[in-house]
Chains A and B, each alone.
Chain A
Amino acid sequence: MFSKFFEWYEKRHDYARDWLTKNDGEVVGCFCSYAPEELIYAAGHLPVRMLGSHEPQDVTEPHIFGMYCPFCRDVLAQGLKGRFNYMKGIMLAQSCLHLRQSFTSWRNHVPVDYAYYLYMPNKVQTDHARSYLAGELAKFRRSLEEWTGREITDEALREAAEVYNESRRLAHEVYDLRKGPNPALTGLEAMVMVASSFMVDKKEHNAELKRILPELKERRLDRETGARLMIVGSEDDDTEFIRMVESVGATVVTDDHCTGSRYFWNSVEFTNGDILSDIANRYVDRPTCPTKDFETRSRFPHILQLAKDFNVDGVLLIQQKFCDPHECDMPPLKEYLNENGFPTLFLEFDVTVPLGPMRIRVEAFLEMVGEEELF
């Protein structure tokens, strides 16, 4: 049922190249889920979030520090290896230092026509963030207009926001089908469903979701649900890991990842006022990345609510190695979830994860949270 999403995810470059032959726009690579894709989409381009390939590589060493996270190195490697050689534009909405290094190295060492750095405020917990970001979006809009010589109208922005809102609504519908005792889809399918939405024209992605939803609502998976797990942490599109977890007696029923629920959780709320302000508010109000979650840690109650709503038995806390913002959150988050009755297992991710050692940890965790069959 999810074969189209897997195809998009696995053949992302083929899709983008094909899109370019059929459309009068460019592919614009985005470095973070804070990228206001609505603007790029309204300009007639295809916004694509760049993810890694999960292959060991040796091309980034001269460009990026060894103690920067494996994800940002993996992303940069894709550019240095020429995997995105069809892509003319890149943009970063500021979140963390590591990804910014990938962006600047890409700008300096991979040929692109257009590179835009958007000052996405880190302190979103202040009202100034709203007007500030709206102003930054206006600058980004002008910059995109200058690049292609095409005007981006308010109407086009509104339409783009509606397409994106529909995508978010549909993703929620799919996630809702994971709340019951028999989730209609696996965590792997959910992961690929969201990750592929980074790579495909949202209209097309929406159409496919609408096509499968009636059938999905009736679907009974031919497998034991086992322990219901949630994954929380840094960027994560490690399909091999989640496949392994779901092969040893568990189902991942929800997540808090920028490549998962954080990406689509909230929508643009239209006020009939300035459309850029509406879009800005959406990015200020979305479930935060830890880089932007201060002074109050607003993520924690949100994560707890997810764990409760999806009836979770345990939480996998995963972190890209050296991802400082997430690492700082892990000890208090672990304590917070444990105090609220949710056991946790912390795992550190690299470009590739050693499945054997990860498996023993996951299996032991499942024995810990599972029924008392052994006692």
Chain B
Amino acid sequence: MSSVATETAVTIQVDGQEVAVPEGATILDACDAAGVETPTICYGPTLTPVNVCRVCVVELDGSRALVPSCSRPAEEGMVVHTDSERVRHSRKMVLEFLATGVDVSQADELGQWADHYGADPDRYVPGGQTMDEPVRVQDNLYIRDYDKCVLCYRCVEACGDDAQHTYAISVAGRGFGARISTEFDVTLHDSACVYCGNCVAVCPTNALQFKTEFDLRQADDWRPEDQTVTQTVCSYCGVGCNLELHVQDNQIVKCTSPDDHDVTKGNLCIKGRFGWNYV
């Protein structure tokens, strides 16, 4: 007898609310299903969790330590607390630590959560301290500003196993000196980079920025509130990648791709990502 496999549902409790999710779903998925918003940094819907930022942690009954909701699978009967004192305190401190060593001024989502939890990085390092590195502008496609990098690994994952399989970048150095780097810190041009920009697309802090956005910000003319986003289809090759064209003043200023489209899963190649400027 042929039958369609029914997805086994798993029921867990999030902040007192029963919620059913398919087997294999994470606690984060359950929080989403319950309508509970969760801060994330290293998590991306198209990326394998690397569990480095710890900002999505929740309290799980029976577990000694807080657990990362983005990677912990939901199991039947779990009781999860996302807004306990312990969770709030932990998330606040993660956000504070990040902001003491990194310029998070363009990490909008992080900033909103920092406000939400009352994070105050100045109580550790007044004014904060960054590596104070110059912005790397090596071509006309994208820039790297590692003072804004929180080492979330999303770019490394997107460049590597999760999408592009180019492996142009990884984490080099230790402690405060740790940073994302090409091999031996060579320029992008001398590295394995193929300029797909999939790293830029997943960066949560604007450490990686399209050159068009960087230039407009330098000119103090980057106005997201005046931008429209239109979904269309790339004109190069026959794959049918969906593009999101970000337009300001009737000019395309940025090109992204929807995470939830089967064809691209948020990814593009150099042509689709950057080849629009004749329009």
**Do A and B share a complex?**
no
Binding site for A on B (CB under 8 A): none
Binding site for B on A (CB under 8 A): none
